[in-house]
Amino acid sequence: MASYSALSSEDLVKACVGTDNSAAWAEFIRRFQPLIAKVVLRTARRHCAEPPRHLADDLIQDTYLKLCADDCRQLRRFQSRHHHSIFGFLKVVAASVVHDHFKSERARKRDTAQTEALSEQAPSFPAEAGRGNLDAIERAIVLRQIDDLMCKIFKGENLVRNRAIFWLNYRDGMTARAIASIPEIGLNTKGVESILRRMTHMIQGHMEQ
């Protein structure tokens, strides 16, 4: 490792790129690990006050994975313009890894919240739909059968979205245009109309069987 410790940063990067030279990579980590760890921790603190140690370790590891991805594409594209260029380059890579992580986390939480919000559009079926009221009882049974059918026909995100569209239209009387205006639906008016037609035909077909 002594020979690699004497290399300039530019020559060390060249020694690492596209090779399995463990000695060169060991020197790379020894030389740049403190900088990468510092940038990761500082950037993570912009998103949460005190990031967990395991998260910081994972983000540091992700930074190295990004540097090595696609046959070290990032390092191959690096062009040294002065003696300290590599330090600025690694700061940018490490910071982008952290920002991407928290951006993905926010998107995942937002999608989960949207899914839960749409799931709430499914009808609730009372245990006793009006004792002594035959029409109310029969209607509740039919609605439950329709909802059960949708759960069998559709899966995953399509189930959540299509189920919400159907009940917003059937139960709440919302038009296709009004439903399409809900951001979580993610469809235009024609898309909502198409789903309503398809679902109605599928449900009618299953009910007839």
- Structural domains in the chain (count): 2
In this predicted model, what pLDDT tens digit does every residue of 97-132 receive, in sequence order?
A: 999 888 887 776 665 555 555 555 555 554 444 445
Computed over every residue of the chain, the mean pLDDT equals 78
Residues 183 and 160 in one domain: yes
| Shared domain check, 7 and 100 | yes
Compute the average pLDDT of residues 136-143: 64
86 and 174 co-located in one domain? no
As a whole number, mean pLDDT of residues 41-62 equals: 89
- The pLDDT tens digits for 62-85 are 999 989 888 888 888 887 777 678
**164 shares a domain with 185:** yes
* Residue 147 lies in domain: 120-208
**128 plus 102 within the same structural domain:** no
**Same domain, yes or no: 132 and 203:** yes
Same domain, 74 and 126: no
Stretch 9-37: mean pLDDT: 88
Residue ending a domain, choose from 113, 129, 150:
113
- Write down which residue in 59, 81, 113 finishes a domain: 113
Same domain (yes/no): 106, 186: no
Q: What are phi and psi of 100, to 5 degrees?
A: -65, -40
pLDDT given for residue 147 in this prediction: 72
Residue, of 94 and 77, whose pLDDT is higher: 94
Question: What pLDDT score was predicted for residue 76?
Answer: 85
Which range among 70-79, 85-94, 154-163, 191-200 shows the weakest confidence by mean pLDDT? 154-163
Residue 170 maps to which CATH number?
A: 1.10.10
Could you tell me if 18 and 98 lie in one domain? yes
What integer pLDDT is reported at residue 1 of this predicted model?
A: 46
Q: For position 128, what pLDDT does the model report?
A: 46
CATH classification at residue 104: 1.10.1740.10
The pTM score is 0.52
Residues 52 and 149 in one domain: no
For residues 195 and 141, membership in a common domain is answered with yes
Residue closest to 76 by CA, chosen among 13, 9, 119, 140 = 13
- Domain end call among 113, 145, 167: 113
Residues 40 and 93 in one domain: yes
